[in-house]
Structure 1
Amino acid sequence: MRLTTPTLTDDPLPLSFGADSGATGPAIHPEAVARFDALLHELYPDAVRVDADRVRNLCVWLASMPSQAAQDVLDRRLHRIEELRHMLDDASWDPPEAMRSRLAKLIGYLDEDEDMIPDREPLLGKLDDVLLLELAWPAFAAEAEDYRDFCAYRSEHTPAGSGDEQRAAWIRDRLAEIALWQHNMRVNDSHYSYSGHAEAPFRIGS
């Protein structure tokens, strides 16, 4: 059970940056923002609301950074987008149909050139893509985490058989690891003998 909402990176995008009305940035069309926000909440209903001011302020924040630092902000998130693409295309992975549908809608938006911020915009063109992924991430985090672990297992153990058989081997071995861990925890927390005082202790000498 998760105690906190999963995040895409350790440093979420600062949606409150530059909240002053004097902030400037690229033209953000209300219709595009409304479409973006509707898709976001279709993917993850508990996401924060996105409006034109938030998007514009985020653009100002990114553009104010040194170019390499700004590109790093994007690249670390774009890398996770590629992981989701691989998960959707991997014949050995079988996400639930509802998850597959959400993934397809997410990637469909990411592949559009003319979205909320057109991809042709230098630096900023991918900002709305990574923003959508970051805000919708809790809807995909558990599946992505399982898929990453499955890929690590498949690479290390190279299980034979079909995708179903490989996933079955992964689940079986991971459950065995959990059972062993739980057993070791019980052993560490238990006492094999009582170390109290004997009723008639031995005496040496008279």
Structure 2
Amino acid sequence: MALNISFELQEQDLEYFRNIMQKTQQSVSQLSQAEVLAAARALAGEVKHQVPDFVASRLKQLELLVAMVEDSEWDLTAEEKLDVLSALAYFAKPEDLIADHLPVLGFLDDAIMIELVAQELAEDLQAYTEFCQYRQNEIERRGAEAQTSKADWLESKRQELQSWMRRRRAEKRSSRSSSGFRSVFSFRG
């Protein structure tokens, strides 16, 4: 028998998580890109088979964020990488809100943070996912010739998707109040 529990986080609840994210970012701001990515990758790998579905589904988003930063063909700007790395900072901290060793609930806080990060970076994730699908489809379609001209056709699609992503992000930022969740995603203070 499965038990379905759902809950809604109100603005004051989200503010609590924003504050946690800010404190975490300050405490891990000295970590390198490699350390932040390694911690996020370790969390995703460590818990893949021992967590409830609601956590496992969010771990896929975490893995996608790591891949987005590491993908040289996606080629994020330094500022965009910093946004993603700042969002991943929570997962680089060994102690979090709920001890991870607790069965079932141990990764609830991680799942909530991943969901908040994924919502904030939705355009980035959507554009990157589309880019990966396009890249795979073109490699399959072009066969052996794909590698010889890959840089040309991939660059064009990357520019198209990143332009869309940046335009949507700018529209989203200009239409939201100054208390947007993204504001906590900066090591720059």
Q: TM-score scaled by structure 2?
A: 0.51
Matches of 2:80 and 2:160 in 1, distance apart? 25
| RMSD, matched Cα | 3.6
Matches of 2:147 and 2:84 in 1, distance apart? 28
Structure number with larger C-alpha Rg: 1
Contact 1:77 1:130 in 2 (8 A): yes
Quote the offset at 1:168 in angstroms.
Answer: 2.0
Quote the offset at 1:149 in angstroms.
Answer: 0.7
The structure with more helix, counted as a fraction of residues:
2
Quote the offset at 1:127 in angstroms.
Answer: 1.3
Q: Deviations over 1:14-66 (max 9, x none)?
A: 2359xxxxxxxxxxxxxx967415369x9xxxxxxxxxxxxxxxxxxxxxxxx
Matches of 1:173 and 1:135 in 2, distance apart? 26
Alignment correspondent of 1:151: 132
Q: Are 1:15 and 2:14 counterparts? A: no
Contact 2:99 2:106 in 1 (8 A): yes
Alignment correspondent of 1:38: 22
Number of residues paired by the alignment? 121
Structure 1 gaps of 5+ residues are: 1-12, 18-31, 43-69, 175-206
Quote the offset at 1:88 in angstroms.
Answer: 1.2
Alignment correspondent of 1:105: 86
Tell me: higher relative CO, structure 1 or 2? Use CA pairs within 8 A at least 6 residues apart: 2
Alignment correspondent of 2:74: 93
Q: Give runs of aligned pairs for residues 128-167 of structure 1, distance below 5 A.
A: 128-158=109-139, 159-160=146-147, 165-167=152-154
Identity of aligned residues (%): 24
Q: TM-score scaled by structure 1?
A: 0.47
Contact 1:91 1:163 in 2 (8 A): no
After superposition, the Cα gap between the structure-2 partners of 1:144 and 1:34, relative to the gap in structure 1 and judged at 3 Å, is: closer
Matches of 2:103 and 2:80 in 1, distance apart? 32
Matches of 2:18 and 2:131 in 1, distance apart? 37
